[in-house]
Structure 1
Amino acid sequence: MLQQGLGQASKAHYEKTPTGIKVSFKNSETSIDQDVYLDVVTDKIVRVTAVPAGATFPKQTSMVIIDSLRRQVKSLVVSSSDSTVNVQTANIKAVVSLVSGKVEFLDLTGQSIIKEAKRNSNSFLPNSYQADAFYQINQDFIVNSEEGIYGLGQHQNAVMNYNRGKQVSLLQYNTEIGIPFLLSTNNYGILWHNYSITKAGDVRPLLPLNAFKLLSKEGEPGWLTATYVNRNQADEVFVSRPESIIDYGYLTDQHKFPTGIKLADSEVIYEGSLASPYTGKHVLHFKYSGYMKVWIDGELVADRWRQSWNAGTFEIERNMSKDQPQQIRMEWIPDGGESYFTLNWQSPIPAARENIFSFNSEAGDAIDYYFVRGTSMDEVISGYRQLSGKAPIMPLWSFGFWQSRERYKTQEEIEQVAAEFRKRKIPIDNIVQDWSYWSENDWGSQKFDPKRFPDPQAMIKKLHDQHFKIMISAWPKINEESTVYQEFKANKWIYPRNIYDGRKDWIGKGYTSTFYDPFNKGARDGFWKLLDDNLFKIGIDAWWMDASEPDIHSNIDLDERKSVFQPSIGSSVRYYNAFPLQNAKGIYEGQRVTDPNKRVFILTRSFFAGQQRYAAAAWSGDIASRWHDMKDQIAGGINFSMSGTPYWTMDAGGFLVENRFHKPNATDLEEWRELNSRWYQYGAFLPLFRAHGQFPYREPYNIAPSDHPAYKSMTYAINLRYKLLSYNYSLAAKTFFEDYSMIRGLAMDFPRDKNGFNSNDQYLWGPSLLVNPVTEKGATSRKVHFPKGTTWYDLYHGKQIEGDQDLLVAAPYERMPVYVRAGAILPIGSVMQYTTEKKQDILDLYVYDGADGHFSLYEDEGNNYNYEKGKFSRIDFNYDNTTKTLSLQERKGDFDGMLTKRKFNIIFVTDKNVVGLDVPSKKSTAVSYTGKAVQIKLK
């Protein structure tokens, strides 16, 4: 129907659709020509789609949104005024301006939640790639300056809160994971429905170094002085030259370095000053390999290291005043002959964009997103999973300890390591076979090299008999000389460009290779058949999907990567970020058909929206074994979890190792041991706990002897992991049944405590535990923010601390500070050698005084999908703080092998009974439980 009252020039009109509205603008003086659709999915979820006027609504099947999505709408009312058309559900109101086309979401009291900025000529920029026509698209949102914004995947910049002036690239890359889901403390989320490379936040282009006013070391305007010196003889200068742009980001940039200089022999020192034409917060963006130190006005602000094949990134925030120079010195020691270093920067946010948060994508048919509302951040994540799929419960064994290294080279090695763990009685459930177990030329065959692994089936049986599971690395990569290449080529299941380019890998003599195409169902089925025939049938338990970006080559530029990666369903530009999603899909669906009763487990280096439904967990890629990398993982893991994707971990100990640790002196050896101790402490409080990395070997006994504090600390962390098994597995059930998040930013549980919004080195593990990793060498204390609104107890000793304060707390070598929330009911089991060694028939229940509490103890068969059919049990514990009463509710449900009788030892932690895991309680209440309700008065 034609909307009257706006003046004939606007000609905006709307029409009702079965699930919402369509608003059209044509030849309007107040809007670009566009059609705006609102599609109500539930009372709390609305899809917004905007297309240029007359363009076809996107019809393709979504890879992110689940096929079985059901609409659950209690109420849907469409109304209008002279200037708006409104869609109201039982929970939210969506308003579309009939003047501009802007969409705003409000609660039922009329309070604004979030609104679009007006779309303009930059919203839809026509473009194409390989005959695929699309738009480069941009949407600005107006956000509240006080809200916290999280999610967007996993990134290595140590940023927790993405509000106000942060730029993040949603781009699949080793150590970087792009997930286009935003989560706000104002209890909404935005799922940006797009597969292409996307910038989010402050999307203004980064500026090159020479956008500053530069002065050289000698005071000459226009450049910094770059001095290339002999790294082994500092007084020998190879060359000194002006550099005003630092842009050595890829292989194709290597020619820009001074002619005749060997970077492997050089150290490069940049000196001078820079001044900005703006006042405010500036952000320097670095990409680097090798050693990098940065001083500004004499202050050391960065000290980093990365291997050259896997360049890292970091950011430096700096307040600058207009035209006021700041001295800068950068010392760069390149890592080998091909090295990488770029430096760009963000200028301060203009006032007009201070409250703008944007999504800018390279390719799409429409501006397309889902708005998700909730009464809490957990409820918002639940809405996200309603759209994109639930996260299955991972197998029980996966909550034990995993041992890996890069790599076990023979069958004998892996069997010896397994035997040593059992001999030393270090608990472990999973051992991991990394890459190159195949014959050198047969990458992609998924077959063991018979020379080094003469009987893999017998090896796997031996491991199973010793109560190990085994996970194996299964790359999506296929060598041209492999035994399966011709089949995949003939069926058009591969990307052929890399073969024609002749680009070789780094194995042996070097082999041309490419990746299979998981966007092709036949290729997915063919890839799963390889895994099934050669690995699954002989007993492999879990899949490690490495290089799933796909990592054609780490250091070729994006244009080259796009030319190599050409999905069968469309262009690489359109589908760049979705490879890991389709890769996981094929393996998950393949295994569930092949063996419907065995839980799938996939560990993958890259991840996309919706991938959680395929039993996929992510790890943070090939990070460095350095303190700064450990700290960077904390914010990265929290934001990954707050992207609605719950299973995450990292290489405990870090992957890439400096040469100084290969044959360390006494000082470096002790640092190596301390670093691994701290990393193990952190790793014990994650969904998955896996030690992994390059040489030196990563088993605890290879890191330190048994009488060393490091060995004691690492084995304590492993034993604690098993003591927490009932707690952790119950969190996994809560994650499936209630769409919970195990790793939790402080804002999730304490949204009124804004002092915690930006906290990038603490998190909550489940509802009860405040985890505070130690990420500084030699530290024996660290600052902890105790969120307000509750009392906290030291996990190990029971000391009570009031919330709403920052304190310097003890962090001895052997322990990472962990605190328990008042009202928590924490089940602690006995030490086990593996997760199924014995049933948890005796549990200590630590009850923490000071607030009402609840915990639901969940159990099932641990290895199959019977829980989807209702075969599981729950025991609900409730603590009434007023009456000091603990209630054990009647057990609900059953399953084969369920414990019918068990014992709970109730330990009441108060300011008068100061006890913890390291201070045994002298008084406890023993309760024999047979499934009937019991109440215990605590004293």
Structure 2
Amino acid sequence: MKMNLRASVLLLLLAVVFAVKGQNFEQTTHGIKAVVDDVKVEIAYYSPKVVRIIKSPANRTFTKESLSVIASPQNLNLVVDQVKQVLRVKSKQMQVQLDLETGQLSFADAKGQPLLQEQAGGAGFVPFKDVEEETFRVKQSFVLDKEEAIYGLGLMQDGKMSQRHQTKYLIQGNVEDVVPFIQSHKGYGLFWDNYSPTTFADSEAATSFESEVGDGIDYYFMYGGNADGVVACMRELTGQVPMFPLWTYGFWQSRERYKSQHELLGVVKKYRDLQVPLDGIIQDWQYWGSNYLWNAMEFLNPEFPNPQKMVDDAHNLNAHMIISIWSSFGPHTKQYRELEKIDALMDFTTWPQSGIQKWPPNMDYPSGVRVYDAYNPEARDIYWKHLKEGLWSLGIDGWWMDSTEPDHLEIQPEDYDNPTYMGSFRKVRNAYPLMTVGGVYKNQRELDSDKRVFILTRSAFAGQQRYGANTWTGDVVASWENYKKQISAGLNFSLTGIPHWNTDIGGFFLWEFRDPLNNPDYRELQVRWMQFGAFTPMMRSHGEGFPREIYQFGEKGEPIYDALEKAIRLRYSLLPYIYSTSWEVSARQSTMTRALVMDFAHDTKALDINDQFMFGKSILVCPVTEGMYTVDGKADFSMVKSRQLYLPEAAGWYDFWTGERMEGGQTISREAPIDLIPLYVKAGAILPLGPDVQYAAEKPWDHLELKVFAGDDGSFVLYEDEGDNYNYEEGAFSEIPISWNDGAKKLTIGARRGTFEGMLSERKFTITLSDGSSKTVDYKGKKVVVKL
């Protein structure tokens, strides 16, 4: 009896000692908190699939309201248990393990299959004085599988698909937009929630994020099961994607720059005269006049004497117009004076450097242009007030927000000491585009729900998908090499959860081509870039120095001109498919331009392909990325050349142009004449094709072709709404489910769901099989079954 009592006391004492040494934790509503080796660790579940990890020195208090994350942690039925020194916190979808002796965290799925683990001792806090604030340089290292493929980091110009085995300095720039987020082909993602310049490094030893400023380590781990699931997690965390107007998916023409309203309207009229489809025209900078009036958001240039008439005339030609606005202001603008009064202008060198509009800059006459503090809510409101008064009031359709990274020239270390509303510029540097773009979106949404916000921006950060913005890849130099890099850049950007992006078709600078508009090599590059652009979320031709309108490259009947026109018309024929895919992005967290890992993660040969992608879930796009038809400085189309491409493992593929069926899992050679981009459609796919139009909304979709690609079961949902307002958020839209039963050779056009003002009550569908056979049926909103 005494021995049993003594043994019980001893065991109790041992348990207390172990608790003090290794079990210093508490369970919370959303997970646990613990202290290990003087480091506070918090595990907080935001959903069954998303968990936040916070670490800070035990003697410091770390609280942060995220700029990117808008979700809140959920109250879940978590299971917390412990085996020896390992504490496990488990949701229905995944589990996190914390080693209470080492502080090492590891992540696994619900069944315990390993996904990712921190490197032992991989958390780092190096004291750092940020201006007057005592803070840290923070780092966390992880261990990845040797053959694991990872994607993301933003819009990178490195030509890589998988982002393994490299070191990248993540800081916003003209041609690189950084998002400190990666996702693995294993089906998980990791968002490093820090806004200071950050180094991402991956080697055989470890994979790490290291940021220059941080009061603590703050990251989110998410398990989606596949790439779509990870993107869905990221959007649930940082915001969903609003619908873009239908007209934004047509063809856009711009130039650096149209120098008068007469010139701009002349371009629209020329496209209409040529009967080449066009939906948008863009006015670039200097419509405000001198550089001292930089970004005045008014037409002060005398070459634009009647801006209201210009906008009205463009609208009367059934074209939409967006206009360039910047993140900086000249010293003679009203905005500058107001922002200066509230101390909301930053002090570092930006563009333009000289007040004289000549190259090179004449620094005897400095411009005095300064970047505004977009972190300041009052400054964002001042920005919008002048935008509304000067341009919105004219009926401008959208905003080209240039230099949203922002432009930072002749960088000095002390530049990052600039105070902002939220701390030093160093501390919040990379979130600048999120703040300035978000300010315009929020203010316009509060003002008007009848017109969807559309923003074209040069930079982006995590969460920006919620702000109606399409990011372009910056002022890239035209070359075959740089053109190819745009493919992997956009795909990795999409894999961070931000789906809308585009490039300057043809490249911005033409430094590598002599007499480019007459240079056969450049003309061929323009065609191939245009063909690729037809399969990006925005199709926009733009460039500096030499105009890029289609008629600058010849006339109808000539190979280059005809190839350019064919690419534009192909884009318009796909508008029902594109707009429905856009709805999948907004309503079901899908992605429009899809890296092959999104649909073929099981196919190891597809994981690192950087020059092919899926457009929606049906079309495999294989851009031609090398010159083929320029020989000895002359165009030679006498022989058709080919490109090698890979058909991923699937039930089968159809050549979009010929209907030939091929098996997946093989590399093939496809002829690529100058007017053709190799395209393949998955067996089971249903493609709705629209009418021949001059602009997106010219004709109703009252007679669509449904191309059915047999060989597997498939489905598609045709989406329609009013085209350019937010009524869809209140349920004003329709969906027509369409399914193909391959065994029975039956196409079912299901009953229409939903309604909206102006909806077609009846229409025709012509159903075409890949063998050329077809049937036309009437559809009045009720289920129709067609045997083929």
TM tier, smaller: over 0.9
Shift of 1:935: 1.1
Aligned counterpart, 1:20: 31
Mapped partners of 1:359, 1:729: distance in 2: 37
Shift of 1:110: 1.6
Aligned counterpart, 1:182: 182
Q: What's the CA shift string for 1:793-812, capped at 9, x where partnerless? A: 11111111111011121111
Mapped partners of 1:561, 1:151: distance in 2: 28
Aligned counterpart, 2:161: 160
The total of aligned residue pairs comes to 759
Contact 2:751–2:781 (CA<8 Å) still a contact in 1?
A: yes
Alignment partner for residue 119 of structure 2, among 101, 114, 117?
Answer: 117
Shift of 1:775: 1.3
Q: What's the CA shift string for 1:172-212, capped at 9, x where partnerless? A: 0010010111111111111111111112232xxxxxxxxxx
Mapped partners of 1:874, 1:61: distance in 2: 38
Shift of 1:462: 0.6
Alignment partner for residue 384 of structure 2, among 521, 528, 546?
Answer: 528
Would the alpha carbon gap of residues 74 and 2 (structure 1) be closer, same or farther in structure 2, given more than 3 Å must change?
Answer: farther
Contact 2:22–2:85 (CA<8 Å) still a contact in 1?
A: no
2:127 is equivalent to residue 126 of structure 1: yes
Alignment partner for residue 736 of structure 1, among 577, 586, 593?
Answer: 586
Contact 1:3–1:12 (CA<8 Å) still a contact in 2?
A: no
Contact 2:48–2:94 (CA<8 Å) still a contact in 1?
A: yes
2:438 is equivalent to residue 585 of structure 1: yes
2:324 is equivalent to residue 473 of structure 1: yes
Would the alpha carbon gap of residues 505 and 7 (structure 1) be closer, same or farther in structure 2, given more than 3 Å must change?
Answer: farther
Aligned counterpart, 1:339: none
Shift of 1:658: 2.0
Q: What's the CA shift string for 1:384-443, capped at 9, x where partnerless? A: 000100011111100000000111010110011111011111101110001111111311
2:429 is equivalent to residue 576 of structure 1: yes
Mapped partners of 1:507, 1:531: distance in 2: 23
2:334 is equivalent to residue 456 of structure 1: no
2:75 is equivalent to residue 64 of structure 1: no
Mapped partners of 1:100, 1:473: distance in 2: 53
AA aligned opposite 1:118: A
1:83-162 → structure 2 map (5 Å cutoff): 83-119=85-121, 123-162=124-163
Alignment partner for residue 793 of structure 1, among 646, 649, 654?
Answer: 654
Alignment partner for residue 689 of structure 1, among 532, 535, 539?
Answer: 539
SS of the counterpart of 1:793?
Answer: strand
SS of the counterpart of 1:533?
Answer: helix
AA aligned opposite 1:929: Y
Shift of 1:363: 1.0
Shift of 1:618: 0.4
AA aligned opposite 1:368: D
Contact 1:662–1:695 (CA<8 Å) still a contact in 2?
A: no
Would the alpha carbon gap of residues 5 and 787 (structure 1) be closer, same or farther in structure 2, given more than 3 Å must change?
Answer: farther
Mapped partners of 1:572, 1:839: distance in 2: 50
AA aligned opposite 1:682: F
SS of the counterpart of 1:57?
Answer: coil
Mapped partners of 1:822, 1:4: distance in 2: 63
AA aligned opposite 1:549: E
1:629-648 → structure 2 map (5 Å cutoff): 629-648=482-501
2:757 is equivalent to residue 746 of structure 1: no
Contact 1:405–1:693 (CA<8 Å) still a contact in 2?
A: yes
Would the alpha carbon gap of residues 47 and 506 (structure 1) be closer, same or farther in structure 2, given more than 3 Å must change?
Answer: farther
SS of the counterpart of 1:892?
Answer: coil
1:195-344 → structure 2 map (5 Å cutoff): 195-202=195-202
Shift of 1:737: 0.4
Contact 1:661–1:696 (CA<8 Å) still a contact in 2?
A: no
Aligned counterpart, 1:75: 77
Aligned CA-pair RMSD: 2.0
Would the alpha carbon gap of residues 888 and 663 (structure 1) be closer, same or farther in structure 2, given more than 3 Å must change?
Answer: closer
Alignment partner for residue 663 of structure 2, among 789, 802, 810?
Answer: 802
Shift of 1:875: 0.4
Mapped partners of 1:637, 1:497: distance in 2: 30
Aligned counterpart, 1:397: 247
Would the alpha carbon gap of residues 802 and 410 (structure 1) be closer, same or farther in structure 2, given more than 3 Å must change?
Answer: same
TM-score (structure 2 length as normaliser): 0.93
Aligned identity (percent) is 39
Mapped partners of 2:397, 2:19: distance in 1: 67
Aligned counterpart, 1:839: 700
Aligned counterpart, 1:552: 408
Aligned counterpart, 1:436: 286
AA aligned opposite 2:223: R
Mapped partners of 2:189, 2:412: distance in 1: 29
Mapped partners of 2:516, 2:143: distance in 1: 54
Aligned counterpart, 1:623: 476
SS of the counterpart of 1:837?
Answer: coil
Mapped partners of 1:558, 1:423: distance in 2: 52
AA aligned opposite 2:442: E
Q: Which structure 1 segments of 5+ residues have no match?
A: 26-31, 203-348, 914-920
Aligned counterpart, 1:48: 53
Mapped partners of 2:117, 2:355: distance in 1: 48
Mapped partners of 2:784, 2:412: distance in 1: 62
Mapped partners of 2:96, 2:414: distance in 1: 42
Contact 2:45–2:74 (CA<8 Å) still a contact in 1?
A: no
Aligned counterpart, 2:644: 783
Mapped partners of 1:417, 1:425: distance in 2: 12
Alignment partner for residue 485 of structure 1, among 332, 336, 351?
Answer: 336
Mapped partners of 2:158, 2:464: distance in 1: 23
Shift of 1:558: 5.7
1:599-618 → structure 2 map (5 Å cutoff): 599-618=452-471
Contact 2:69–2:237 (CA<8 Å) still a contact in 1?
A: yes
Contact 1:177–1:608 (CA<8 Å) still a contact in 2?
A: yes
Shift of 1:778: 1.6
Contact 1:47–1:368 (CA<8 Å) still a contact in 2?
A: yes
Q: What's the CA shift string for 1:341-373, capped at 9, x where partnerless? A: xxxxxxxx5x5x0xx221111111111111111
Contact 2:241–2:468 (CA<8 Å) still a contact in 1?
A: yes
Mapped partners of 2:528, 2:618: distance in 1: 21
SS of the counterpart of 1:736?
Answer: helix
Contact 2:347–2:415 (CA<8 Å) still a contact in 1?
A: no
TM-score (structure 1 length as normaliser): 0.79
Mapped partners of 1:506, 1:731: distance in 2: 46
AA aligned opposite 1:807: I
2:735 is equivalent to residue 874 of structure 1: yes
Alignment partner for residue 425 of structure 1, among 248, 260, 275?
Answer: 275
Shift of 1:505: 6.1
Q: What's the CA shift string for 1:40-92, capped at 9, x where partnerless? A: 1111111011111232132x3211011xx254555211111221111111111
Mapped partners of 1:72, 1:843: distance in 2: 45
Q: What's the CA shift string for 1:519-562, capped at 9, x where partnerless? A: 00110000001110000000111111111111032xx2362542
Shift of 1:498: 4.9
AA aligned opposite 1:61: E
Contact 2:124–2:139 (CA<8 Å) still a contact in 1?
A: yes
2:515 is equivalent to residue 513 of structure 1: no
Mapped partners of 1:658, 1:193: distance in 2: 38
Contact 1:888–1:934 (CA<8 Å) still a contact in 2?
A: yes
SS of the counterpart of 1:862?
Answer: coil
AA aligned opposite 1:145: K
Shift of 1:830: 1.6
AA aligned opposite 1:182: I
Aligned counterpart, 1:933: 783
Mapped partners of 1:694, 1:497: distance in 2: 26
Q: Which structure 2 segments of 5+ residues have no match?
A: 1-11, 359-364, 630-640
**Farther-moved stretch of structure 1 (366-375 vs 891-900):** 366-375
Would the alpha carbon gap of residues 52 and 671 (structure 1) be closer, same or farther in structure 2, given more than 3 Å must change?
Answer: same
Would the alpha carbon gap of residues 503 and 721 (structure 1) be closer, same or farther in structure 2, given more than 3 Å must change?
Answer: closer
2:413 is equivalent to residue 408 of structure 1: no
**Farther-moved stretch of structure 1 (357-366 vs 774-783):** 774-783
